[in-house]
Amino acid sequence: MGTYIYMSETKDTNGRPVHDPLVNREEKSPNKLTRDYSVILFYKYAPVANPEAFVAWHKLVGPKLGLTGRVHIAKEGINATLEGKTENAEEYMRIIRGDEEGMAAASRIGVPPQDFADLRDVQIKTSLGIGDAFPKFKAKVKEEIVSLKLTRADGVEEDVDPNQVTGVHLKPEELKAWYDNGDDFVIIDMRNDYEFKVGHFKNSINAGLKNFRDLPEILPKLVEQHPEIATKKILTVCTGGVRCEKASGFLKKKGFGEVYQLDGGMHKYMEAFPGNAQEGKPCEFRGALYTFDNRMTMDFVGEDISKREVIGRCQVCQVPTERYGHCANDACHLHLMICKGCAENHIYVWCSPECRDTGRVGVVHSADLGTAGAVITLA
């Protein structure tokens, strides 16, 4: 799929490079990862009778345990990404289950037990933290636990209730066996295009989404480009699994027969089978996993990161990188891959002709852009 990247070098009247939105974000430092902090990720479609009360409870518990991150609660369930000191994150994980052990933990820190939703069997994913993965703690009532309101281009809603229709949950071990046995299947990556760029499953199809809600519009084109989707068994994948609850349900609703979703998402698979590129046995998930926090990416190979492949490429010069910048249109700010060298050379990259045409680049006036923009076509 062709992507157009526009770039231009922007200098002030003295020839000095001006405000560069691409270097605003501090480069991620894998060395900052520490066992002292944990990031936890979970979701659960489970009825919540009183989302407001559950949010209020979180506003009590989160700060008490020094947690940061976000919790979204809707009548349909809960979705959370949090960071805290490891012992506090573990305490939260106990409390949130609301079982006997959870009730004991709640009374230990002096908060009411969690009895707003049945989360006794919730699957919680954990990874190393950095201590400042999130700026603060936020808990909110939402219409849905992830913003996945599937809507067609003509505005007709095509939403899916995962409690009604969803794909079969495939365990990481089962997917590993599919790979090892050479099974005939297609993997559709249901994340955003920029998440795909830094890491993805071997032989997976990039849905190329800019927003998850575009899936109904993208799907027919995807099937046209990859006719095997219509004939083979399908596995949908995403970071932690929550998007696939709806994506796989949507595929089923559209009449696709054998539809699976990866249980626990890429997170669980990489954790179970981190692989070792040095020994010629790389993980089937190639590259790093994009995260929606200040870590930017993560993996499970441990201290020696040369054990995994780097598959991200600078969208300007094509060198291997795992560094993200932003679309130079500040109103858009979409993530794009740009190497340190290109960022330091003050090259602006826009995600689309539309963003380029706004002429918006941080504090630079449109006149400053002149006609210096170049067009690069990426394969």
Residue 8 beta carbon to Zn ion: minimum distance, rounded to whole angstroms = 14
Closer by beta carbon to Zn ion, 242 or else 343: 343
Amino acid identity for residue 131 in this structure = G
Closer by beta carbon to Zn ion, 22 or else 288: 22
Q: Is 56 exposed, middle or buried (0-12, 13-18, 19+ CB in 10 A)?
A: middle
Say whether 317 is catalytic: no
Distances (CA, A) of 290 to 56, 95, 193, 210, 340: 30, 28, 11, 15, 18
Chain contacts with Zn ion (rule: CB under 5 A) = 314, 316-317, 327, 329, 332, 334, 339, 342, 351, 355
Residue 264 beta carbon to Zn ion: minimum distance, rounded to whole angstroms = 32
Residue 289 beta carbon to Zn ion: minimum distance, rounded to whole angstroms = 22
Closer by beta carbon to Zn ion, 139 or else 355: 355
Closer by beta carbon to Zn ion, 203 or else 318: 318
Residue 335 beta carbon to Zn ion: minimum distance, rounded to whole angstroms = 10
Residue 344 beta carbon to Zn ion: minimum distance, rounded to whole angstroms = 10
Closer by beta carbon to Zn ion, 11 or else 340: 340
What's the CA gap between 244 and 246, in Å, rounded? 5
Which of 238, 244, 327, 342 is catalytic? The answer is: 238
Q: Which residues are catalytic?
A: 238
